[in-house]
Structure 1
Amino acid sequence: KEVLSEDVDIEETLSGGDIISFPSEELSPFVDDNKQLMYEIMFFKMVPRIELSPIFKIRFLENKNEETLRNMIKGIYNQAKCQFCTSTFLPPIKLCDNYHLYCKNCDVTNCSLCNDRVDSAIVSSFKIIHKCRHSDKCEVYDDDGNSLAKHEKICKYRTVSCPIPDCFEMIQLLDLIDHIKSFHPEIEICLESSFSVKYNEFHKPDIIRKFIRLTDCMCWLITWKNILNSMLFIVCICFPIKQNIRLYSKIRFYNPNTEEERIYTQPVFNEQSEGLFFSEKCTVIPPQYLYPYIDSDDSLKFSFELSNKSL
């Protein structure tokens, strides 16, 4: 069976204005009895071209084609995924005589495709630079997966859920304040770490929410008055935008007439905390400790303050 073929780079051919041509003597063996010529055109998506990073350390063997090996490594650099074990392609990398590549996770001595012997490591090390996954606008790159994971937990572009009941909007943290202003204008936005909270009619069920915007973090303060048992629940949730932030809150009740004072402290919880109102971690104040601070007009007021204790 005789085959005539030519490989063409479409991008280079079209941009250069070249025409693919075959001389008649080469085509004549493929003309049938009806003087008809049939041919096939096949398109392939090639691996994007990249410059090989100098961080590759390659030991070329005498019986291996250097250019072929470099092209194979470029493919790995683009995909970063082993075709055999589907894990991240990590060095050292091993190679069989037919250029099938195996990563660190593959424990093989013979190639599973061609059964040829797999050589010892030929690529000793390389680094794959990862980018923050939250947004193209985030320009944080890191070749250390653990460091990048730490950044992504505090990235200002990460997506968070609006904690307002019946609002299921997923928003980038950077846009959360604009979302509150536009869709929840009843929520007070505080720009200071200390402020006061007031229940005008304490014996009625009510939930007070405040959004706190600080330099290194954003916080939700939620207070809930349970009408069934007259207990007051207080919890604060933090959305950090800087590493090693640990916040504590101080809740202070004060009666100016009797000068009686009661102070509660608690850690500020992270955004992944679930069911805080139903856990022992939430600050729960029973009614007997609240009555001394309720005014004659049934109002209750207390001060709230955040303090940062860096790790």
Structure 2
Amino acid sequence: MTYPDRPPVVAYGRLNPYLMEGLERRFTVHSLPADADLTTLPPHVRAARALVSFGSTGASAAVMDALPALEIIGLFSVGYDKVDVDHARAKGIRVSNTPDVLTDDVADLAVGLLYATIRNIAANDRLVRSGAWERGEAPALSARVTGRRIGILGLGRIGRAIGKRLEPVAGQILYHNRREATDTPYTYVADAIDFARQSDVLIVATSGGPEAASLVDAAMLEALGPEGVIINISRGSVIDEDALVAALADKRIAGAGLDVFAAEPHVPPALLTMDNVVLQPHQGSATVHSRKAMADLVLANLDAHFAGKPLLTPVV
């Protein structure tokens, strides 16, 4: 789609190159660093009718106020916890995100982290690369994945996709949600501590945001127990990171596979030295296929907005 008047759009923070190409074909694009001084924006930027950003950048109330002509925020992510949704709603600014198209890739990574953590794949890779194995150092025995009780925290699209992948090997699949789902064969556990206690593996797949901050706390980690493993492909803020580091250091849980962190890209230094932890740089949706589909959906939402049609995937 092309627009003869090329509406002004702000590309806020670093964006996917394919998405930028699509924006530049349609719009007059103004790049704005995520740390820009919002009090000194030039008039052509303040005239922007749309803002596009990655989910980890989002759009604060201050950003919206600095762009008085803003009509829509297009997020290149499922999560919208970094957007002040209430402020957007109050100002009549529409917000869209990119659900569904990245579900499979995020679920795949969750399962990959599960196997990598329980079977010591990353630690054993380091053992081989360092030459220690050739010098006679024996790798530690790992645990087993098959037959484990898998607890999924947040049975949304991604949580269900994770469960589907693990059905053939899991001894039991449990889940904890705000409310019980009526269309799943998995076992609902209403109490969070009891849920952790019943789980051998706890996979965090819930949405982020203030209401989910430190949802997995020291008490839940204690309930998970010394043979328990936690996997997080949600948001780093969902786990109390200090409590997690302490639980791992004290061997009160067996291991962790983490794609997300509370203060990305900062990772707690203690985690870097732990062989029972597998770390990823927030790669859940980072495949060529997902990122193209996400970009196409951002563009389709913008096209719908400027054509006066309903958004395909509205948040507000």
Q: TM-score range by the shorter chain?
A: under 0.3
The structure that has the greater radius of gyration is 1
Structure with the higher fraction of residues in strand conformation = 1
TM-score (norm 2): 0.27
TM-score (norm 1): 0.28
